Amino acid sequence: MKRIRIPATTANMGPGFDCIGMAFDFYNYIDFEPVDEIGYCELSSDGEAGSIDLSKNNLIYQAYAAVFDYVQKPVAGIKMHFENNVPYSRGLGSSSAALIGGVKVANEVLGNPLSDTELLNVALQFEGHPDNIAPALLGGVVISGLDEEGRVFYRKITPPSNLHCTVIIPDYPLATREAREVLPKELSMKDAVFNIGRMALLVDAMHTGDLQQLALAMDDKLHQPYRMPLIRGMEELIPQAKALGALNVTISGAGPTILLVSDGEKDFSPLADLLKEKGVTAKITALHPVNKGAEMIEG
C-alpha cells in the first residue's frame, strides 16, 4: 500500500475570517491501494474514527470520486485505511484533511494529472471556502479566496521559524454550523476597517517574522466576539495566557480549540487548572507550523 499524510490546520487566525489558514505538524494518514475493478470501494479506519461512515458516502471517498468526475473517467476501485488523529468538530480542519486526502489519493491513482489549483477547486465543491483546504494541501500559511467565477486563488507564505503555537483542545465538539449561526448578518464599517488593518499587519508579520506585531495583528471584530460565548472559559483564559507569554489568543477555525501564538516555546500547562474551574477538560499541545502540506510518505 501507499501512504499519504495530511496536516491539521487552523483557519481565520484572528482577523482573516475565511481567508487565511496555517498547517501544523499534526497529521491524519491514508494507506491506499488501487483495485482492478471499477467502482470497488473498501474502507477501514482507526484513531479518532468514532462512528465514521465506511460506505461510499464517506467524505474522503466522495472527494476521491469527485476527481474522477472532474477528469471524466470511471471511478477506479480503491482500498483505503484511515488513521484519524485530528479530532472532529474541534476547529483543526478535520473535514479539510479528509477532502484533501481524498483528492490527493485520486490524483496519485490517476498519475498526478491535476495541479494544486485544480485539486483545490475539486475540494471546494464540498467545503465552500478554501481557508482550511489550501494549507492542508499546500502547507505553510496560505491566504486564499474565490474570484468572481468562484475559482480559488491563493498565495503561500513560509511560516516564520520563531513562530510557536499551542492549542487548547476541549473535550467537547462545536459544529461549524452552530458557530456560523451566531454570526451577524451585517457588520459596521468601523469593525470592517478594524479587521482590514489587522489582516494587513498579520500578513506583514508572517512575511517579516516580526512576531511582536501579532499582539495587535490577530485581534478580530468579525467573528470571535460572537463565538467566544460558545467556548467555555476562553474569555477568562486570555489574560492569564498573555501573562504566561502568549502574544495573542484566538479561536482556531470555528472552535472550540483555542490557539495561542508565541515567540518561542512557552509553558501554558497552568491554564488547564483555570479550565477545570469552568468544568472543562482540555488537552494542551504544542504544535509547530509546517511548510509542507499533504504528501506521499514511506509506509
Examine the domain organization and report whether 106 and 139 are in the same domain. Answer: yes
Examine the domain organization and report whether 43 and 179 are in the same domain. Answer: no
Query: Rounded distance, CA 253 to CA 14, Å?
Result: 9
Q: How confident is the model over 96-110, as a mean pLDDT?
A: 97
Examine the domain organization and report whether 29 and 63 are in the same domain. Answer: yes
The number of distinct structural domains making up the chain is: 2
Quickly state the pLDDT bin for 299 (edges 50, 70, 90). Answer: low
Closest-CA residue to 137 (of 111, 118, 113) = 118
Examine the domain organization and report whether 24 and 154 are in the same domain. Answer: yes
Q: How confident is the model over 82-110, as a mean pLDDT?
A: 95
Examine the domain organization and report whether 101 and 240 are in the same domain. Answer: no
Q: How confident is the model over 175-191, as a mean pLDDT?
A: 92
Whether the CB-CB separation of 132 and 92 falls below 8 Å is answered with: no
- Check residue 50 and give its pLDDT: 57
Examine the domain organization and report whether 114 and 246 are in the same domain. Answer: no
Query: Rounded distance, CA 233 to CA 35, Å?
Result: 49
Strands (E), 91-244: 141-146, 152-157, 163-170
Per-residue pLDDT for 175 more than 80? Answer: yes
Per-residue pLDDT for 49 more than 90? Answer: no
Radius of gyration of the chain (CA): 19
Per-residue pLDDT for 82 more than 80? Answer: yes
Whether the CB-CB separation of 135 and 7 falls below 8 Å is answered with: yes
Helix, strand, or coil (residue 71)? coil
The angle, 0 to 180 degrees and rounded to 10, between the axes of the packed helices 116-127 and 94-110 is 140
Closest-CA residue to 187 (of 221, 213, 164, 154) = 221
Q: How confident is the model over 200-214, as a mean pLDDT?
A: 97
Q: How confident is the model over 51-64, as a mean pLDDT?
A: 91
Q: Within a domain: residue 153?
A: yes
Give the cell for residue 125: 465543491
Give the cell for residue 200: 494587513
- Which residues does 147 contact at the CB level (< 8 Å), separation at least 6? 153
Q: For residue 69, give the CATH number of its domain.
A: 3.30.230.10
What value does the mean pLDDT of the chain take? 94
Examine the domain organization and report whether 145 and 43 are in the same domain. Answer: yes
Examine the domain organization and report whether 140 and 40 are in the same domain. Answer: yes
Examine the domain organization and report whether 271 and 197 are in the same domain. Answer: yes
Quickly state the pLDDT bin for 217 (edges 50, 70, 90). Answer: very high
In percent, the amount of the chain with pLDDT more than 90 equals: 90
Give the cell for residue 64: 476521491
- Check residue 25 and give its pLDDT: 97
Q: Which of 109, 141, 158 is the last residue of a domain?
A: 158
Residue type, 206: M
- Which range is most confident: 121-130, 145-154, 173-182, 211-220? 211-220
Query: Rounded distance, CA 3 to CA 81, Å?
Result: 9
Q: Which of 135, 158, 181 is the last residue of a domain?
A: 158
Global pTM value: 0.94
Examine the domain organization and report whether 6 and 132 are in the same domain. Answer: yes
Examine the domain organization and report whether 14 and 58 are in the same domain. Answer: yes
Per-residue pLDDT for 47 more than 80? Answer: no
Q: Within a domain: residue 294?
A: no
Full residue range of the structural domain in which residue 230 is found: 163-287
